[in-house]
Amino acid sequence: MKNLTKKLLLTTGLIVMSATSFAENKAEVSAVSANITIANDYIWRGETQSDDKKAIQGGLDYDIGNGFALGVWGSNVDFGGASSEFDIYGSYSGELDSGVGYEIGYISYTYNEKDNDFEEAYVAVSYEGFGLTQYKGVDDASDNLELSYNLDLSGVDTTLVYGDYKDINKYHSVTFAKSFNELDYAVAWNKSKPDAGGSSSDNTVFSISKSF
């Protein structure tokens, strides 16, 4: 999934949509942005999606205005017979007068090996660096609950994440990111523990990103 840093992106949601907030957002200007990332691994919810090999990823986001946005994102992968992933997503987001951020959205994950395809809806909220996102799997897809905290450590953007991917694994990560010369550099340490038992896995990801 996209770096929604996968956002990754991080996402922020509460199902709140008032006529007042809608009107206040009308002045927003629609815009298209793009991003590209090169990383030594593609980790999603604590597990490698590229068999511990490098990944090249990129996406396009369209800010429609009024809080609505659409996007696409892709990456190479190496699992379940699939070699590529292509995600399509849409969202509505905003912020209440109290400072609480919110976002609701829907994500379709598609692969060249169609047996791996699945979809999720999500609702997220954020407040002063804290984030909570509930992903609801469609049909037989598993649900996922993710907690996050973002802070600035001497100019380094630092994000802590804990997730519970129902019946699959529990995971946590620490990411340090810094922008320099119009490039975004990040290092992330990830650990996951399968719900079915077995050994935990640890991964460290280094990435360089560029936004346009």
Give the domain 19-211 fold. Answer: Porin (2.40.160)
Q: Where are the beta strands (DSSP E) in the chain?
A: 31-39, 43-44, 47-48, 55-65, 68-79, 82-95, 101-111, 118-127, 130-137, 144-153, 156-165, 169-180, 183-194, 201-211
- Pick from 68, 145, 143, 137: which is nearest to 107 by CA? 137
Residue position matching structure tokens 């990383």? 39
Q: What is the largest CA-CA distance in the chain?
A: 53
What tokens appear for 123 in the block?
């609702």
Query: What are the CA-CA distances from residue 179 to residues 155, 160, 176 (Å)?
Result: 9, 18, 11
Convert 160-169 to b/e letters by CB count within 10 Å (16 or more is b): ebebbbeebb
The whole-chain average pLDDT of the chain stands at: 89
What tokens appear for 147 in the block?
């907690």
Tens of pLDDT, residues 45-76: 999 999 999 999 999 999 999 999 999 999 99
CB within 8 Å of 73: residues ≥ 6 apart: 1, 2, 3, 57, 58, 59, 60, 86, 87, 89
Tens of pLDDT, residues 98-135: 999 999 999 999 999 999 999 999 999 999 999 999 99
| Calpha distance 73→153 (Å, rounded) | 29
- Pick from 55, 10, 11: which is nearest to 208 by CA? 55
Proportion of the chain above pLDDT 70, given as a percent: 86
Residue 167 has pLDDT above 80, yes or no: yes
Residue 10 has pLDDT above 80, yes or no: no
Residue 210 has pLDDT above 60, yes or no: yes
Convert 13-51 to b/e letters by CB count within 10 Å (16 or more is b): bbeeeeeebeeeeeeeeeeeeebebebbbbbbbbbbbbe
